[in-house]
Amino acid sequence: MIQIFDPVKDLGTPKPISDNLIRLTIDGKDIEVAEGSSIMRAALENQLFIPKLCATDSLESYGSCRICAVDIEGARGTPAACTTPVAEGMVVNTQSPRLEKLRRNILELYISDHPLDCLACSANGECELQDMAAAVGLREVRYGFEGENHLQAEKDQSNPYFDFEPSKCIVCSRCVRACEETQGTFALTLSGRGFDSKVSAADDNILASDCVSCGACVQACPTASLMEKPYAEGQFGNRTVKTTCAYCGVGCGFEVDLNGQQPLRMRPDKNSQSNHGHACVKGRFAFAYVNHADRVKQPLIRDSIDEPWREVNWEEAIGFAANKLKAVQKDYGRESIGAITSSRCTNEETYLVQKLVRAAFGNNNTDTCARVCHSPTGYGLKTTLGESAGTQTFDSVLKADLILVIGANPTDAHPVFGSLLRKRLRQGADLIVADPREIDLLKTAHSKAPLHLPLLPGSNVALINALAYTVIEEGLEDELFIAERCQDDSYQKWRDFISDERHSPENMASFTGVDAKDIRQAARQYAKAKNAAIYYGLGVTEHSQGSSMVMGIANLALATGNIGREGVGINPLRGQNNVQGSCDMGSFPHEYPGYQHVSDAKVQAKFSAAWGCELDPEPGLRIPNMFDAAIAGQFKGLYCQGEDIAQSDPNTKHVEEALRSLDCLIVQDIFMNETSRFAHVLLPGSSFLEKDGTFTNAERRINRVRKAIESLAGKADWETTMALSNALGYPMNYSHPSEIMDEIASLTPSFAGLNYELLEQQGSVQWPCNEQYPLGTDIMHRDSFPIGKARFAITEFIPTEEKVNRRFPLLLTTGRVLTQYNVGAQTRRTPNQTWHDEDILELHPFDAEQRGLKDGDRVMLRSRVGQTSLIAKVSDRMQAGVVYTTFHHPISGANVVTTENSDWATNCPEYKVTAVQVEKSMSETQWQKELRREKAEVQVVRVLQ
């Protein structure tokens, strides 16, 4: 019998980090606990009950409620167990008539200013105040409600996801402390003194405040004062399922409370190694899309994209799709079809799609959305370190003394990790941010003054080379690490290269736009720190020199010895929930699962034998190649699983032309999207709550995804791919995703020891997981690299071809916001629209003044390939000459203006550098108007149906 990974109870105060043991006696029981433990934790760890209200093990001890008072032999008074550390030989008594009376009196005072509506209360059965009143034996309250109280305090229902009911607040400060310690936003505070003390937001209500709706306050609240709206409105779950979030690459663990097929709330799992009980507004609250009316629940087919859709059953749709693919290959050859896998689907589902392409299609034309985001990470890290993945756990950041963030915005794109990073900054770590824009991380409260390197878009490699030049010139390299862990010939060649005067901060300043003294300061801080860690995002990879930059980051880390232990490393922050997994599963056209090259004869023989067919030894087409070949009339069939390439890929009009050129486009998704406008077959997808499987997060952590509700369309995505393969004549017969994982493990060395039973026992596992590392690997490259010794790479700075001129004098860079996710298919169908219901264009006040623009003006954004219209926002976050927008809303057309320039090694698009002009405009573009008309027509049809 497989045992589910079981959470433990709340132990009142955080776990200490000491390995030293302290011996003491509590209630006559001799115990040993870690030095630094509170009396409360020591007792609860040993099944000795002490009542508590203000204490929880996710927050530092506070000592305000006083119901955890205990007696300590030789000590005066009754100290609080939560704030009193254990001491050698200490003798503690937690139960006595005096303590019982004290606790009852305290609880009686709380109850005297609290509504007595327990049976009707939304927290009934989950209320810690209720539990503690019962635990201390409180049966009656001597104080009436005639005097002054807080029972008529006005409820704050401004937030779309949770209510704040002050009348039920016991002013324990857990919500305030969670906002500070866990999230780091400081949106809540305790105002007033004594009886007038109350929890307040910085503004009139929570929605208007700095609150980011992470839900940490709701999670921490011991009463019904802060409560999710479904529960506040009287809806309650009757079962719970543990699963993994389907948004960003942090991979947060959740416990989903459901009533039948209706998910009511997502509670962060405190024992998830990815998030430790924290969450963000997307993962915790934005799940309404799962049962949204727009869900595609029935397969749709049509012979031409100019015809209306026809609803059919699954058998007819699969047969129709298979016959179309067969016809295309008969007319245009074996290489004329391919597939794009999804980074939002599970590892098992992604594995099946690439297997379908190789075994059933007979070619290697498989690619993934990682092509347009993190493919340079794979290339760059594989070249230098020998493995295509980040080196650390997220928790490793808590050991970093200096954190260098390059081209990433963790508090928006990876919020839970962003909160953890901010925690370390508040503890005293130094911060350097290299970004064209002033990101929120630079404004972290109660931290040291950060160093911002506001480099110009496209100058990343110039910056990293200048940093490395300073390290070598000033003798700051780690000679022992280099001698023991790095290839000497590659180091000597790189040292000669990087020591060239052209790489000096002074000479690179004209390219980077960053003052040379700031670059030198950053290099010294990074090299001299005991532990220095680099975290980077799409601002590194989505450039024409993305691969060079990743190798440059590796060079800098190797030269300073910041690899192979906690608190250091090279950490790519993956954008989507399973980008790492989709790469691991062999979605690239040149690699089988586990990054095994298709041209390797031994690898080829292994997969051919396992799959029972001959396999093509030549790499297939990448996504950009597919588009070009489609327009040329050579590529005519595409199976696109869970990716909206018509919105997410660059140069939208070029993508649309390619999709129109296909004879067969099969889209598999939970919603109609921009790509399905050009599809011949629309197969319903399944959400993360409707399937079993695994996701792999940015720290290589493989987390279980568990089915919570039945699929709205009748099939999970892996079942759909399996049915299509069978219809094409290549048999696939799996009864459960665990069988697919067993096959993956049998063929993939880094997954060799992995199976569902191990995942259930451990909660999660970080690959590599094999005979050498049976329980997985937390920190990579501790003693050696997969290639033996690490390799330095030459990273010549080559300025981007996308240059400004008089016609296009500004540089556009793109990114994300906290409340929306990727192309917005999920979050746009939730109340997250409250915060960001359209994409806007940010520009510096100087650029706005030059063009006579102000906040709220409609502007035309033009590039060399297209134009779109947006609303302007004048922002000091920008530097003059650089503008910024997001791509969460299709109608914004952000990718109408981005070009097809791409990384030299991987074809990752250069989203971050587009030369543009901004002008005042009176209306949207013709493309936007036509898109609005099409969407309106589709909506009318759906209503009529």
pLDDT at 116: 81
Q: Please give the residue that has the higher pLDDT: either 866 or 147.
A: 866
- What confidence score (pLDDT) does residue 194 get? 84
Do you know the residue count of the chain? 945
What is the average per-residue pLDDT within 151-176?
Answer: 92
Alpha-carbon distance 368 to 33, whole Å?
49
> What average pLDDT does the segment 386-397 reach?
95
Largest Cα span, the chain = 92
* Per-residue confidence (pLDDT) for residue 740, from 0 to 100: 98
SS3 717: helix
Q: What's at 560, amino acid-wise?
A: T
Tokens of 136: 């201390």
pLDDT at residue 694, as a whole number? 98
Contact yes or no for 754/768 (Cβ under 8 A) = no
Residue 370: predicted pLDDT: 87
Using 50, 70 and 90 to split pLDDT, how confident is the model at 443?
A: very high
Q: Of 225-234, 395-404, 482-491, 783-792, which gets the smallest average pLDDT?
A: 225-234
Q: Give residue 117's pLDDT.
A: 80
* DSSP, res 182: I
pLDDT(319) > 50 = yes
Q: Say yes or no to pLDDT of 813 above 60.
A: yes
Q: Kind and range of the H or E element at 497?
A: helix 488-498
pLDDT for the residue 943: 52
**Chain centre distance of CA 42:** 35
* Residue ranges in 256-346 assigned as alpha helix (H): 281-285, 314-332
Contact in structure between 724 and 321 (CB atoms under 8 Å): yes
Q: Is the pLDDT of residue 5 over 50?
A: no
Backbone angles phi, psi at 149, to 5 degrees: -155, -175
pLDDT at 138: 86
Cα–Cα distances (Å) from 824 to 248, 288, 574, 673, in that order, read 12, 13, 17, 10
Spatial strand order of the sheet with 664-669 comes to 310-311, 300-301, 681-684, 664-669, 637-641, 337-341, 366-368
Confidence of residue 6 (pLDDT cuts 50, 70, 90): very low
In contact, 421 and 441? CB cutoff 8 Å: yes
Beta-carbon neighbour count of residue 153 at 10 Å? 15
519 and 526 in contact (C-beta within 8 Å)?
A: no
Burial of 135 (0-12, 13-18, 19+ CB in 10 A): middle
The DSSP bridge partners found for residue 85 are 38
Q: Strands, E, within 41-98: which ranges?
A: 71-72, 91-93
The one-letter amino acid code at 105 reads: N
**Half-sphere exposure for 73 (CA within 13 Å, toward CB):** 12
Q: Please check whether residue 444 is in contact with residue 420, taking contact to mean a CB–CB distance below 8 angstroms.
A: no
- pLDDT band for position 195 (50/70/90)? confident
Helix/strand/coil for 546: helix
Q: What is the pLDDT of residue 7?
A: 37
CB 268 within 8 A of CB 182: no
Q: How confident is the model at residue 8 (pLDDT cuts 50, 70, 90)?
A: very low
Find how far residue 910's CA is from the centre of its chain.
22
| pLDDT given for residue 3 in this prediction | 34
* Rounded Cα distance, 322 and 565, in Å: 50
pLDDT tens for residues 593-634? 999 999 999 999 999 999 999 999 999 999 999 999 999 999
- Is 363 in contact with 635 (CB distance < 8 Å)? no
The stretch 888-909 carries a mean pLDDT of 92
Strand pairing partners for 156? 164
Per residue in 81-118, pLDDT (tens digit) is 999 999 999 999 999 999 999 999 999 888 888 888 88
- What pLDDT was estimated at residue 112? 85
pLDDT in the model for residue 941: 57
* CA separation for the pair 909, 375 (Å, rounded): 10
116/145 Cα distance (integer angstroms):
11
**Residue carrying structure tokens 């067919």:** 613
pLDDT, tens only, 868-893? 999 999 999 999 999 999 999 999 99
pLDDT surpassing 80 at residue 944 = no
Is the pLDDT at 338 greater than 60? The verdict is yes
Given this model, what pLDDT does residue 942 score? 59
Task: For residue range 687-725, list pLDDT tens digits in order.
Answer: 999 999 999 999 999 999 999 999 999 999 999 999 999
- Apex 426 CA angle, 421 and 427, nearest 5: 95
Range 441-449 average pLDDT: 94
**Entry pTM:** 0.94
pLDDT, residue 939, reads: 65
pLDDT grade for 344, boundaries at 50, 70 and 90: very high
Return the number of other C-beta atoms located less than 10 Å from residue 207's C-beta. Answer: 16
Q: Reply yes or no on whether the pLDDT at 742 is more than 80.
A: yes
Count Cα neighbours of 267 within 13 Å in the Cβ-side half-sphere. Answer: 21
Question: Which whole number is the average pLDDT over 312-334?
Answer: 97
Helix axis angle for 717-728 and 314-332, nearest 10°, is: 50
**Confidence category of residue 940, pLDDT binned at 50, 70, 90:** low
